[in-house]
Structure 1
């Protein structure tokens, strides 16, 4: 019986007319979802569907160095190491795979590729978060220290009006830090509870009424709110978090809507869900910014956001609260027209 380097030659029936028996190695690796390659010497004899999808349908029979063209893979492919080693950029610039190897028998090895892209993205988010939080805290701290040193100097400002102006700026910077720390703590608590579904029975219409009344009393332009709220909309939720979610969304509408224009707020039943819609008549947001608005510290207009006291965490907190309540968040915007935020929450059957 004739055999080539990669197994039985030909794909047709064997001499007695029967079809060739199934390849047990191929059956085995196809049962696994990670990309797997069986290599005999330096040639690929078997590849499962995941490996072919990643590296190409043509790779069986190819030289393995041509299939995995990555400098970090050389030591694994040559058999000098078993790994694992990270292959950054394989299959896309934002992807990272981990290559490891094991010996099947002399001359034959199994190469395994494990997708570590999600872990890499999570680590990058963690590093960015720490860097952004440090930057956001450093800015007001630097202002506070500078003004304190100026006031302490013997030849510092002597007139009362200048000192009061300095103290007013210091108070603003301190409160900015306080808001940031409060938001960071809120985000941390919400993330800690993300897999624990709320269990309290609450009337979200009453919660929204409370937020509307609070903003109407504390903001000099509170009369901009135009509300249509259904009665007794019962849901399972965390009252404090739902209050914070409504407050953040409505506060954003005040901040970014044009002064004097109305803010349209509706809360109604829509089948088995409650639908909150908040629409402002502001400058709107460019399309490229919309997918990133719920990222921590992401700002479409950093200068304006800081000027009006934003921490860059408001919509990130909203997103996490919506997710914990098994809801849905959607943000749509048109430049020059305004922004609409829609939140869907499941109702109690």
Structure 2
């Protein structure tokens, strides 16, 4: 078993931050990586005055007392950036020394938090329509059982809530699929002009219902690229549908496409498609977060129009798969424009 004098050299050779505590509960060795995690002048001090965090202190006390290995968490970093460490505690039996090594698990901790937030958001989104359905069912089974007018009205509301849940489940499944395929580069040749024309044909009835004129400016030439036609149709359906719904009745929606042989966003040939409305616009404070799951700039209006809060998240993941970009520009009262930038396939031109 190594002599205690070798501890500093052993810890210095470790790739992880590490320190050693002797049986007198003093820090007797610390490598350079660990010095960034603890207060200066830690050598020779009692470990409680250096580590401080209760869960880690308790784990160290137990390991020293029982001579058994253990694990604990340790939080470090600044107010703006927190770092989570998994601390491994290993006794060196012959010397009574305890070696602590710190492994950064911030990404795993953040992923776990994201999963918890996602489950909480889905539960919240489903709870509201489910509560409404249960309330109406109870009412129809009791006080409104023999009231035809109330029954018809309640059934209409129940149908709307059921459709809302169906849209949410559909978007969740779609999001799951596009995330699973995000690292698989599409290889099929697609003409983006045809995708955009299909989008406008599909959404023309919705535009007519909302007294919205779709104004395309797609140019005479095809726009060839490598892509997944169904996913690209989903991207532009989402953007144009949002422009129709949020742009306001009687106001046009413009769909403009063009190419750039040296696009600054992609550092190469690209096609840009901009979907612009003339609605109330979006406060710039919301723009960086619009592609987050369940984030809504106006949650009440979004829910009233049937939004699930997942559409732009789906768009982002599809564009990631296509090595594309999404640019959003808006100011209150000035409408909003969503620009999709995709690599142009010059070989197919």
Structure-2 residue corresponding to 1:70? 53
Contact 1:45 1:60 (8 Å CA) reproduced: no
Cα offset for 1:116?
A: 2.0
1:255 aligns with 2:245: yes
Task: Name the residue aligned to 2:265.
Answer: none
- Picking from 167, 177, 181, the partner of 2:165 is 177
SS in structure 2 opposite 1:174? Answer: helix
The structural deviation recorded for 1:6 is 8.1
Unaligned runs of 5+ in 1: 8-22
- By how many angstroms is 1:107 displaced? 5.2
Do the aligned partners of 1:38 and 1:47 also contact (CA within 8 Å) in 2? no
Alpha-carbon offset, residue 95 of structure 1: 3.4
SS of equivalent to 1:345: strand
SS in 2 for 1:37: strand
Matches within 5 A, 1:242-321: 242-271=232-261, 272-321=269-318
- Indicate how the Cα distance of structure 1 residues 328 and 154 shifts in structure 2: closer, same or farther if over 3 A, else same: closer
What SS does the corresponding residue of 1:219 show, helix, strand or coil?
Answer: helix
Report the more deviating stretch, 336-345 or 150-159. Answer: 150-159
What residue ranges of structure 2 are gaps of 5+ in the alignment? 262-268
Q: Is 1:28 aligned with 2:18? A: no
Does the alignment pair 1:82 with 2:69?
Answer: yes
Aligned to 1:11: none
1:207-258: per-residue Cα shift (whole Å, max 9, x none)? 1121022212333236432222243222222111111111111112222223
Matched residues, number = 323
TM (norm. structure 1) is 0.80
* Residue matched to 1:237: 227
The verdict on how the C-alpha distance between 1:329 and 1:55 changes in structure 2, with shifts beyond 3 A counting, is: farther
Deviation readout 1:172-207 (Å, 9 max, x if unpaired): 222112211111111111122222222222112211
Q: Root-mean-square deviation (CA), in Å?
A: 2.9
Residue of structure 1 in register with 2:264 after alignment? none
Q: What pairs up with 1:48-59 in 2 under 5 angstroms?
A: 48-49=32-33, 51-55=34-38, 58-59=40-41
Cα 1:345–1:162 shift into 2, 3 Å: same
> Which residue is 2:266 aligned to?
none
TM-score (ref. length: structure 2)? 0.80
Shift of 1:109: 4.6
Pair 109,305 (structure 1): closer, same or farther in 2 beyond 3 Å: same
Please show how residues 96-107 of structure 1 align to structure 2 within 5 Å.
Answer: 96-103=84-91, 106=95
CA distance in 2, matches of 1:256, 1:306: 12
Residue 61 (str. 1) matches residue 51 (str. 2): no
Q: Structure 2 CA distance, aligned partners of 1:44 and 1:254?
A: 68
When residues 157 and 300 of structure 1 are mapped into structure 2, their CA distance, relative to the original with a 3 A threshold, is: farther
User: Are 2:189 and 1:201 equivalent residues in the alignment?
Assistant: yes
The 1:151–1:305 alpha-carbon spacing in structure 2 relative to 1, beyond 3 Å, is: same
From the superposition, tell whether residues 110 and 345 of structure 1 become closer, same or farther in structure 2 (CA, over 3 Å).
Answer: farther
User: 2:166 matched to 1:165?
Assistant: no
